[in-house]
Amino acid sequence: MLACPICSAPLQEVDNGVACPAGHRFDRARQGYLNLLPVQHKNSRDPGDNLAMVEARRDFLNAGHYAP
Residue 53's domain comprises 12-62
Give me the pLDDT at residue 66, please.
87
Residue pLDDT tens, the chain, 68 long: 899 999 999 999 999 999 999 999 999 988 888 888 876 655 666 666 788 888 999 999 999 998 88
Q: Is residue 1 part of a domain?
A: no
Q: Is residue 30 part of a domain?
A: yes
In a domain? residue 21:
yes
* Number of compact structural domains in the chain: 1
Over the Cα atoms of the chain, what is R_g? 14
Cα distance from N-terminal residue to C-terminal residue, the chain: 19
pLDDT at 60: 94
Report yes or no on 5 lying in a domain: no
Q: Is residue 7 domain-resident?
A: no
* Cα separation, 13 vs 27, whole angstroms: 10
Over pLDDT 90: what percentage of the chain?
49
